Amino acid sequence: MTFETLGLSPALLRALAESGYTAPTPIQAQAIPLVLAGHDLLGGAQTGTGKTAAFGLPLLQRLSKLTPAKGPRKPRALVLVPTRELAVQVADSLKTYGRHLRLNVTMLFGGVGMQPQIENLRRGVDILVACPGRLLDHMQSGHAKLDAVEVLVLDEADRMLDMGFLPSMKRILARVPAQRQTLLFSATFEARIKALALEFMRDPQQVQVAANNTIAETIVHRAHPVDASRKRDMLVEILATRHTEQVLVFGKTKHGCNRLAEQLEKAGLPAVAIHGNKSQAQRQKALDAFKAGRARILVATDVAARGLDIPNLPLVINHDLPMVAEDYVHRIGRTGRNGASGEALSLVSADEAGLLRQIQRMLKADIAMEEMPGYAPSQPIRLDGPMPAQNRGGGARKPGGGARPPRKPAQRGHGKPQDRGAHAHAGPRQRGAGKPGGQGGGRRERQA
């Protein structure tokens, strides 16, 4: 299959060719015809599968064919995203795909001044890419008007729910016309995503390119047992002795990421950190340094790293295991993309044994435990027996003896995650497809 066979316009095909796109990914091949036909769409796709083009290309084609209403140009498409980094990534992609179209793309996110965004809105917008909290700020001040929106995209909807944005999303959806096309993309189709779809979509078509919590087969998974007090020393030795071009390291807290980056710098390992306590300018500067190779190591919290687009990343290290097993999937999804090989390495202390068991149950496979010389833990890390044998990339090995029957994936807990978004204030549930309402009191998102 080619992009030509999907029915895309010559202007879009030209932009794709100039950007080196040769063939659609599975999510693009399935989603683009459905979106072009006008259907609401519930798309299941992990980061790195090409989902931005899956909704962006048909969105651009629709807007380029329709004549906007007379008067100041109001947003005709709204893309809601959970983080600033994802907003930048999506907007940049839309500008690339639509370079030969006369459509304006504007971003709204926190951590930067309001006035430049207000001026962009006043000049006229076709496509608005926004984080929920900052969009609400502009709506309340009267600068962002959504009554002309024809296409609504909820990108990484599962993450927006994780970050407590449901009340904000409902307030925004109440201001979007009921007669619209709605596209929802999520890494999983869990019950709360389906409930959201039933509430705000009309007979959506469903496509899913991979099963829930699927890990790329090209990723090797390993774990090093170590005392918590020696994790940083182990990390320094690993990074100092391995010749990896770029490494993404995940920490648990904002302050922990800062301290870790500082220690790596003192050890002569160029590192930068991104987390919610940094301004947007600081975060963008750190990300630019990492992508340009001036810093070989990027240390990040889960929320701050969401939506990062880093091509050809060979190694992801979990300095701290995630508190929720599903976040392991999101973390290591930064490596092994588009068929490339990758490695996911976790430093595991005894108090994280339960977290590792949850991850293994979700993967339905063991993660190879490899003791590193000189770092034997003072107490053994005990795991409760073998997991079902499914080799996911070579590092997850079948243990000796028979395999258990497959276990159900661990359920997401309801505790407050690190770097969580806005407090979740329950708004009144709205009934009727595509007709949200209610004035539930959402608060702006914390800066991820």
Q: CATH assignment of 4-208?
A: 3.40.50.300
- 304 has pLDDT over 70: no
At 277 the pLDDT is 75
Once rounded to an integer, what is the mean pLDDT over residues 148-155?
A: 96
At 283 the pLDDT is 80
pLDDT tens digits, 432-442: 333 333 333 33
At 297 the pLDDT is 93
4-208 and 219-369 agree in CATH topology: yes
CA distance 384 to 38: 50
Q: CATH assignment of 219-369?
A: 3.40.50.300
At 218 the pLDDT is 75
- 73 has pLDDT over 80: yes
At 305 the pLDDT is 61
Q: Among 106-110, 132-136, 303-307, which stretch is predicted with the lowest mean pLDDT?
A: 303-307
At 20 the pLDDT is 85
Higher local confidence (pLDDT), 15 or 441 = 15
- 168 has pLDDT over 70: yes
Once rounded to an integer, what is the mean pLDDT over residues 412-428?
A: 36
Once rounded to an integer, what is the mean pLDDT over residues 310-338?
A: 81
| pLDDT band per the 50, 70, 90 thresholds, residue 190 | confident
At 47 the pLDDT is 67
At 425 the pLDDT is 36
| pLDDT band per the 50, 70, 90 thresholds, residue 361 | confident
pLDDT tens digits, 94-127: 999 999 998 999 999 998 899 999 999 999 999 9
At 377 the pLDDT is 92
- 214 has pLDDT over 90: no
pLDDT tens digits, 252-273: 888 899 999 999 999 999 999 9
Most confident of the ranges 130-144, 244-258, 354-368, 399-413 = 130-144
Domain ranges of the chain: 4-208, 219-369
At 50 the pLDDT is 84
Q: Among 52-56, 209-213, 361-365, which stretch is predicted with the lowest mean pLDDT?
A: 209-213
Most confident of the ranges 28-42, 381-395, 405-419 = 28-42
| pLDDT band per the 50, 70, 90 thresholds, residue 1 | confident
